[in-house]
Amino acid sequence: MIRFALTACLLLTALPAAADCVVAADLATGVSFARADGHKGRVIAKGDGVFVDYAAGAPVWTDNRQTWLGIYELVSTRFYVEEPGSVGGGSTDTVQSFRGKPPVPVAGQGWSGVVKAHTRQNNSSEFGGYDYDDRFKASFAFLAEKTVKLSGCSYKVIPVEANFVGKDNSFTQRWLYFPDLGFGLETRQNGADIGLTALKPA
């Protein structure tokens, strides 16, 4: 009996620890993630919105986005500087409004509409900054649902691809939307892949 109990104890201690998987309730306190570009981030629910920090912990690199569902970006502040000693850069602050409320992604469906954007390009030189406005025809495609594995856990995702076409400026974005978690995270911008490599409760 003692030998059996000891053997069982050894078997239990040899089992690997269960993965700390993200659940929908974690969004209220924050979820951390990592992307293929080496940057770490954090996503958290605040009020009716989802706030995503794509550069959490970076010394001088800023990429904060106030969104609906982590996909539809309403307010963003970006300051792309990699070296703490770099000078002469400036942040880009953008406020976007969607004509009509975009939908929660459903695989096989999509949404098209007009997006208006006002951007303030700050400049650290004596010339200050400048403002400009854009108007885009936006088209969102919600692709087939699939399962991905991150940090040892399996999640259902719906890839979301968007094209923004304006008079003087056009761009593309791609996200992975987690229907069971209630948020999406950007994985591609203008053809540059920046896929997710980790996802954990914060």
**Residue 10 three-state SS:** helix
Predicted local distance difference test score (pLDDT) of residue 103: 97
The vertex-90 CA angle with 88 and 92, nearest 5°, equals 160
Q: 104 — phi, psi (to 5°)?
A: -70, 130
Contact 161, 191 (CB under 8 A): no
Our count of domains for the chain comes to 1
Residue 12 belongs to a domain = no
pLDDT, tens only, 7-65: 444 444 444 445 699 999 999 999 999 999 888 999 999 988 999 999 887 777 789 99
Encode pLDDT of 120-167 as tens digits.
Answer: 988 765 567 889 999 999 999 999 999 999 999 999 999 999 999 999
Look at residue 58 and tell me if it is in a domain: yes
Residue 80 pLDDT? 67
Count of positions (residues) in the chain: 202
DSSP letter (8 states) at residue 31: E
Residue 188, domain member (yes or no): yes
The pLDDT tens digits of the residues spanning 67-122 come to 999 999 999 998 866 555 555 567 899 999 999 889 999 999 999 999 999 999 88
Q: What is the CATH number of the domain that holds 35?
A: 2.40.360
**Residue span of the structural domain in which 126 resides:** 21-201
Instruction: Judge whether 8 lies within some domain.
Output: no
Is 5 contained in some domain?
no
* Residue at 108 is within a domain: yes
71 inside domain? yes
In a domain, residue 7? The reply is: no
For residue 3, what pLDDT band results from cuts at 50, 70 and 90? very low
